[in-house]
């Protein structure tokens, strides 16, 4: 990882570390180091730097809701909005717990794509009618219910290193700090 002028780019080692973490984020620094032929301290330093710069946002668990006993349905909503309100609508949707993903897309018109989970079709209908349709700027909603899931993963890193800008971290006093590293 190269840091210069308050930005940095990922090198091939960083990308390999990220790919290994995406397979299983519980792996130890030593295990990752052995797989890559580098010291565990190097793995630790690189991971901490990627956390600091916001490349690694968080560590989480991908749960199979059906196997966990949850009887839910998943739907994809395509929401057509007034162009002036689309950002505001997307931000509102992000705050709703039943909505797990939100994207904007531009085809013939600006639209928001949102993934939602519900207990059944009735609760899905009620949720859309009471929580999504009334939002200011929503013009139309098309809903597709997922009937079979073939794959659900996080995307892998593109093997093309990118320039990244660090995120501001808060120190103990709540003041932002943004240091360049060498």
pLDDT number for residue 163? 43
Instruction: Tell me if residue 131 falls in helix, strand or coil.
Output: helix
DSSP classification of residue 76: E
pLDDT of residue 8: 67
Of the candidates 122, 81, 117, the residue with the CA atom closest to the CA atom of residue 100: 117
Query: What local confidence, expressed as pLDDT, does residue 181 receive?
Result: 37
Q: Are 36 and 13 in contact (CB under 8 A)?
A: yes
Amino acid 151: pLDDT: 80
Res 37: pLDDT: 96
Confidence (pLDDT) at 59: 86
The domain 1-62 is placed in CATH, from the list 3.30.430.20, 3.50.50.60, 1.10.10.10, 3.20.20.70, at 1.10.10.10
Give the count of beta carbons closer than 10 Å to the beta carbon of residue 111.
Answer: 20
Which range among 65-74, 132-141, 160-169 has the greatest average pLDDT?
132-141
Question: Tens digit of pLDDT for each residue in 137-177?
Answer: 999 999 999 998 888 776 666 544 444 444 444 333 333 33
Distance CA 47, CA 57 (A): 11
What is the distance between the terminal CA atoms of the chain, rounded to a whole angstrom?
A: 9
Structure confidence at residue 6 as a pLDDT band (50, 70, 90) = low
Residue 72's pLDDT band (cuts 50, 70, 90): confident
User: Please, what is the average pLDDT of the chain?
Assistant: 82
CATH of 73-145 given 3.30.830.10, 3.30.70.920, 3.30.1950.10, 3.20.20.140: 3.30.70.920
Query: pTM of whole model > 0.75?
Result: no
User: What pLDDT is stored for residue 178 in this prediction?
Assistant: 37
Residue 13 token pair: 């080692």
| Domain extent listing, the chain | 1-62, 73-145
């Amino acid at each position: 990882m190269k840091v210069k002028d308050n930005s940095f780019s990922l090198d091939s080692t960083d990308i390999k570390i990220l790919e290994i973490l995406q397979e299983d984020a519980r792996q130890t620094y030593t295990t990752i180091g052995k797989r890559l032929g580098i010291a565990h301290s190097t793995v630790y330093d690189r991971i901490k730097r990627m956390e600091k710069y916001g490349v690694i946002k968080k560590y989480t668990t991908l749960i199979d809701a059906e196997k966990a006993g949850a009887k839910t349905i998943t739907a994809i909503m395509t929401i057509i909005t007034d162009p002036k309100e689309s950002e505001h609508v997307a931000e509102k949707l992000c705050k709703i717990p039943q909505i797990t993903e939100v994207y904007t897309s531009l085809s013939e018109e600006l639209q928001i794509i949102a993934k939602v989970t519900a207990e059944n079709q009735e609760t899905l209908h009620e949720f859309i009618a009471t929580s999504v349709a009334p939002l200011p700027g929503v013009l139309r909603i098309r809903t597709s219910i997922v009937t079979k899931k073939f794959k659900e993963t996080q995307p892998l890193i593109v093997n093309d290193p990118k320039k990244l800008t660090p995120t501001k971290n808060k120190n103990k006093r709540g003041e932002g700090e943004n240091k360049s590293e060498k």
